[in-house]
Amino acid sequence: MKVILKEEIKGFGKPGEIVKVADGYARNFLLPRDLAAVATEKNVRRLEHEKRQIFLRQEKAKREALKLAEELKATSVTITRQVGEEDRIFGSVTTRDIGEALREENFKIHRRQITMDDSVKKLGVYECQIKLHPEVTVPVKVWVVAQ
């Protein structure tokens, strides 16, 4: 019997795949537990339609991320901190600080989207990466200046 998997089943496949299984396995295990649906022509068409909708949403999200990336490339963030000896700042600059500075510039970036190679403990210019989409990452310069 051919079924469309609704969840990942070890040894058979991932959600959305059409697989052939034993009739008894489908009737007694997969279908009662709502892990699969019978692969009728109607269900296959619905699955193809859902896959197409998901693909279109992902493409739209990628286009929006690329548009935002172009705007972010021209942006740099300035963060002021109190300074101690040898240009060392009190505390450090975190992804939360960078996220707040970007919010002030009218960008909606969550701090979890921001990654930094090293911690910022001194004055200077640093670069952070902002992951807008799984395929779109943009570098942004962060200026740390004395208050």
Rounded Cα–Cα distance for residues 107 and 32 (Å): 47
Report how far apart, in Å, the C-alpha atoms of 3 and of each of 24, 47, 53 are.
Answer: 12, 12, 21
72, 26: one domain: no
pLDDT at residue 91 greater than cutoff 90 = no
Whichever domain contains 99, its CATH number is: 3.10.430.100
- Strands 18-20 and 124-133 turn out to be unpaired
**Mean pLDDT on 71-84:** 90
The pLDDT assigned to 90 comes to 87
The pLDDT assigned to 117 comes to 85
31, 90: one domain: no
The pLDDT assigned to 40 comes to 94
Total count of domains within the chain: 2
114, 134: one domain: yes
- Residue 46, helix vs strand vs coil: helix
- Strands 120-122 and 88-93 turn out to be antiparallel
Could you identify the residue written with the tokens 């939360």?
96
16, 73: one domain: no
The pLDDT assigned to 118 comes to 83
Residue where a domain terminates, one of 15, 35, 64: 64
57, 80: one domain: no
pLDDT tens readout for residues 34-66: 999 999 999 999 999 999 999 999 999 999 999
Residue where a domain terminates, one of 33, 64, 95: 64
Domain that holds residue 141: 66-146
pLDDT at residue 86 greater than cutoff 90 = no
Could you identify the residue written with the tokens 């910022």?
120
pLDDT at residue 30 greater than cutoff 90 = yes
